[in-house]
Amino acid sequence: MIRGRLLDIKNQLNLDARIQLLSGQLNRLTGYERIENLKAVVIKAEQSIKQSRTMLIDSKREYTKYTELRRQSQKQVNDLLSNKSSWGDTELNKFTQLVKSDHSIEKLEKEFMQKVEEYEKLVDRGFEKLLKSILERYHEEQIWSDKIRSMSSNYTLIALSVNVLVFLMAIVFIEPYKRNRMLRELEINLDKDQVKILSQIDSIREEISTLKTPATVVDQPDMPAPLGPEPPSTSTQFEKIYNNPFTTLSIGILIALGLYLFSNVLHKYKNIFSINFKPVWLIIISYTLVVLSSLVLYTSTANDLDSKAFIPTLTYIALLLTLCYPFNALFRHQRFQFIGTLGEIVYSPFQVTFNQVLLADILTSYAKVFGDFYTSLVQCLDPESNFAITPPSANYMAPVFTAIPYILRFKQCIVEYVASNFTQKKSLLNALKYASSFPVIAFSALHRYNNTAYNWWLISVIVNSLFSFWWDVRNDWGLNFLDSDVWLRNGSTQKTSLRDVQLYKESYKYYVAIFIDFILRFTWSLKLSSHLHTYVELESGVFALEILEIFRRYLWCFFRLEWQVIKSNPHEYTSIPIHQYNN
């Protein structure tokens, strides 16, 4: 009974026609209507082939039948002809009939043979048409499938973006509103309680004043000043929280600008690696927009540091998601090249290329950024932490994170030394140079607990700075400025203080670069020391040191790439001694 009523309702509403109409509109919207038309063409071609094959089989059957009849007729004729001398009237009439019958059978046989040939051609043409229709339908289905997959990916991305936007709006607008409402209710309740307490205090004070005389009243001592240092100001904490994004932004802009200027001055470096500058600049612009949006969001929210602790963390997460975005957008090739190079830096057990060395050297300028990232992350994620106090775990984990770039570069030097069958002593010395930064970081961390570590820290700073400065000038830039033969001249030596081949025409640029590298090498070693910037008032100075290190690093890249160009083209620059190519 219920089924019957449902069928009646279905017939009244004409659901079948409406569903079919909706299906047709959906097919037209998605482009599947063409595939349906091709499907109908395939079905029609199959039916046509089936009909042609049926007619072909019938024609072959008739052709076979008349072929057999003609064979029998010819056999009878041959039998009569063999007894031609004994023919009578009966045999003559029979021969005449057989000849007539054979002529008509031959005519029918030829007719059906033509039909067989015609139907065979028709079947072949139908099969070719069917195959072509099937291939066309398959091709259209593949195009439609790719289109639907692309639309699905875009809609998924849009849905994900909407979810992230809703999440951010909830955090930025709804959560502060709920927090402020809760605070207002709490303040109202506290005010009511305070009024009650003050009224009770006033009544008690009046009772006491009636019992006391004026002579017995004594002055109340002043309240002691609050102990402990005042919490750091918002602007100082702003510098601390946004130290990392602005540092990484600056180094990206300056390195890209440096490579751009270097390519204009020294176009031959493109034999080392090729760079398309348009994606680089667009990536930097996108990165700048993310950081500036985070900055605007940070400055526009409440002044309470703990209430906006999520903003730096969301900045890091947004940059990481953008870098690892898997779809073919946002310069996927360049992003995955960068990620692949980072992976090769972390894991390259057999071979180290120049681009890996260059990027790993640039990462050493991020050493302090690694430590600050850990500190900021803990301050953002730890519910018991606040921005006025450095997390206790940062005292020993931040130095470990600071040492990560030097550990990676140290590992590269060891890999180069092992790959040379333990013959390339230069790689071993280079590893020693990066290992000299470990005592600077370690003694700086120990200085928090033991003041006697200061002397060892000072010695390690001097050793690391001088060693790194000598290596920059002598090996990374290929200059003779620090060679003893240059300063202790004798009659046999003809060495210049720089080098025989200089792709930059003005020699003073090399001397200025040497002087700047010497000064900033010492300041960067000081910056690796975590105990120097635990005080809030030094945070701005530490940020300035990071900017100076960025400047030193891209200046270093200029002359490092220049020396690599000269070494990679020995036939062009024949005046360079051969031992310098091997270095």
pLDDT at 580: 39
Residues 522 and 461: their CA atoms lie apart, in Å, by 7
| pLDDT tens-place string over residues 258-315 | 555 555 555 555 555 556 667 777 777 777 777 778 777 777 765 555 556 667 667 7
Q: How far apart are the first and last CA of the chain?
A: 95
By the 10 Å C-beta count (0-12 exposed, 13-18 middle, 19+ buried), 543 is classed as buried
Residues 580 and 535: their CA atoms lie apart, in Å, by 46
Residues 360 and 408: their CA atoms lie apart, in Å, by 7
Q: Where are the alpha helices (DSSP H) in 88-211?
A: 89-169, 175-211
The helix/strand count (H/E) of the chain reads as: 21, 0
- Read off the pLDDT of each residue in 434-458 and give the average, rounded to a whole number: 85
Residues 19 and 382: their CA atoms lie apart, in Å, by 56
Domain 31-166, CATH 1.10.3720.10 — does that match? no
Compute how many other C-beta atoms are within 10 angstroms of the C-beta atom of residue 530. 24
CB 483 within 8 A of CB 474: yes
- pLDDT confidence tier of residue 430, bands split at 50, 70 and 90: very high
pLDDT at 514: 92
Compute how many other C-beta atoms are within 10 angstroms of the C-beta atom of residue 108. 16
Lowest average pLDDT, out of 189-198, 303-312, 420-429, goes to 303-312
| pLDDT tens-place string over residues 68-114 | 888 888 888 787 787 777 777 777 788 788 888 888 888 888 888 88
pLDDT beyond 80 at 456: yes
pLDDT at 541: 61
Answer positive or negative: Cα dihedral of 12, 17, 22, 23.
Answer: positive
Mean pLDDT of the chain: 75
DSSP 84: G
Does residue 289 come out as left (phi exceeding 0), alpha (psi in the -120 to 50 range) or beta?
alpha
Angle subtended at Cα 527 by Cα 521 and Cα 528, rounded to the nearest 5 degrees: 95
pLDDT at 90: 79
pLDDT at 229: 40
Find, among 123, 126, 114, 128, the residue nearest to 53 by Cα: 123
| pLDDT tens-place string over residues 118-145 | 888 888 888 888 888 888 888 888 888 8
CB 426 within 8 A of CB 357: no
- Read off the pLDDT of each residue in 420-446 and give the average, rounded to a whole number: 89
Residues 248 and 227: their CA atoms lie apart, in Å, by 38
Residues 534 and 91: their CA atoms lie apart, in Å, by 135
Residues 562 and 543: their CA atoms lie apart, in Å, by 29
pTM for the complete prediction?
0.57
CB 365 within 8 A of CB 553: yes
Residues 225 and 13: their CA atoms lie apart, in Å, by 84
CB 288 within 8 A of CB 280: no
DSSP 351: -
- Read off the pLDDT of each residue in 166-185 and give the average, rounded to a whole number: 75
Residues 550 and 554: their CA atoms lie apart, in Å, by 6
pLDDT at 406: 93
Lowest average pLDDT, out of 115-129, 239-253, 508-522, goes to 239-253
